[in-house]
């Protein structure tokens, strides 16, 4: 079992269709089926039952899905740590919530390498629950977590602030509106991030507090999957400004919520009782300066 195998399993599980899952990871259905059979043989279980409409996870498939994300990220980190072990640089491990690499991208990393040449920064994106666990177990010395943050456990500095938005199929009547009220979403099929992310609970609590009859048809670890469901006309995707505008699909429109107070914030966090290393402190200062300089291009709502 390797990260590729797990990635194939995750996409098949989330689409409940071998052909669509294979397409997401740029494989033929035959190649994806071969990997699936390999996993089933290795684990000695049946992960899916086949039907005319696609595949249905078995209880064993559900059990693997609950652990597959964490296992995939751990394998990736082990590989990365082994590669870094041969270098003489200090390794700064950062546990991060979703989407950070959307705006701390290649340009930022190149700037970081030039500014901190003796430090290798490793940013691992995962659900907030896993990122918190990595901080708790000292696998990462710095975290970038979605709020709210438990200040009895962490010291937190505000980092980024984002506007939730909706990616709507052009065939949906909501696409004709300039902004979306909570009441517009009653019984509307919604696709959003997995409940393991802090942003999921922000959104759901906002919906429930405003008496929305929520109809969630898909949860995913990647917002882009939600956007694709919207492009296919199967759901309205609940997203965030940086992700929606960076990955626009034809046959969709992006609309803000009427509620301007609805925001998602991230924080730079350390465990209470720990002293940040110079590398961690330098990273925070450089990242905040970078975002201040490029904030308008990274997060501004297009006119």
pLDDT tens for 56-107 read 889 998 889 878 877 887 777 777 667 655 556 788 999 999 888 888 888 8
* Angstrom distance (rounded) from CA 192 to CA 236: 9
My answer on whether 98 and 211 are in the same domain is: no
pLDDT given at position 83: 64
My answer on whether 168 and 250 are in the same domain is: yes
Residue 140 belongs to domain with CATH number: 3.40.190.10
My answer on whether 269 and 252 are in the same domain is: no
| CB burial of residue 168 (10 Å; 0-12, 13-18, 19+) | buried
My answer on whether 175 and 250 are in the same domain is: yes
My answer on whether 25 and 169 are in the same domain is: no
Q: Which two tokens stand for residue 251?
A: 């046959």
137 occurs within a structural domain:
yes
pLDDT given at position 202: 93
255 pLDDT more than 90: yes
Average pLDDT, the chain: 88
My answer on whether 213 and 181 are in the same domain is: yes
CB 252 within 8 A of CB 170: yes
Q: Which two tokens stand for residue 269?
A: 């966090």
73 occurs within a structural domain:
no
Which domain does 44 fall in, by range?
A: 3-68
My answer on whether 97 and 156 are in the same domain is: yes
Average of per-residue pLDDT across 135-154: 91
Residue 62 belongs to domain with CATH number: 1.10.10.10
pLDDT given at position 109: 87
* pTM listed for this prediction: 0.72
18 occurs within a structural domain:
yes
pLDDT band, residue 233 (cuts 50/70/90): very high
11 occurs within a structural domain:
yes
My answer on whether 96 and 232 are in the same domain is: no
Average of per-residue pLDDT across 233-261: 91
* Angstrom distance (rounded) from CA 56 to CA 61: 9
303 pLDDT more than 60: no
DSSP-assigned states of every residue in 43-93 = HTS--EEEETTEEEE-HHHHHHHHHHHHHHHHHHHHHHHHHHHTS-SEEEE
Per cent of the chain over pLDDT 90 is: 47
Work out how many domains the chain is built from and give that number.
3
Average of per-residue pLDDT across 172-198: 94
């Amino acid at each position: 079992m390797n990260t590729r195998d797990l990635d194939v399993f995750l996409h098949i599980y989330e689409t409940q269709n071998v052909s669509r899952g294979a397409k997401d990871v740029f494989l033929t259905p035959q190649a994806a089926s071969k990997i699936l059979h390999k996993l089933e043989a290795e684990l000695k279980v049946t992960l899916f039952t086949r039907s005319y409409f696609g595949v249905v996870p078995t209880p064993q498939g559900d059990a693997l899905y609950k652990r597959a994300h964490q296992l995939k990220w751990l394998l990736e980190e082990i590989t990365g740590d082994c590669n870094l072990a041969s270098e003489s640089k200090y390794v700064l491990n950062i546990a991060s919530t979703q989407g950070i690499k959307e705006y701390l991208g290649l340009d930022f990393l190149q700037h970081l390498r030039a500014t901190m040449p003796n430090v290798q920064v490793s940013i691992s994106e995962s659900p907030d629950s896993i990122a918190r666990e990595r901080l708790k177990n000292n696998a990462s010395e710095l975290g970038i977590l979605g709020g709210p943050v438990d200040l009895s456990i962490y010291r937190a500095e505000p980092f980024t602030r984002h506007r939730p938005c909706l990616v709507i199929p052009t065939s949906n009547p909501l696409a004709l509106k300039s902004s979306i009220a909570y009441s517009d979403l009653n019984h509307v099929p919604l696709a959003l991030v997995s409940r393991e992310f802090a942003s999921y609970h922000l959104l759901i609590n906002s919906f429930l507090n405003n008496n929305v009859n929520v109809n969630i048809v898909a949860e995913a670890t990647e917002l882009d999957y939600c956007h694709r469901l919207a492009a296919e006309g199967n759901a309205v995707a609940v997203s965030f400004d940086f992700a929606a505008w960076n990955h626009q699909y034809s046959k969709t429109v992006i609309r803000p919520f009427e509620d301007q107070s609805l925001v998602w914030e991230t924080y730079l966090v350390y465990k209470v009782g720990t002293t940040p290393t110079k590398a961690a402190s330098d990273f925070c200062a450089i990242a905040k300066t970078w975002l201040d300089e490029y904030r308008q291009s990274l997060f501004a709502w297009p006119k």
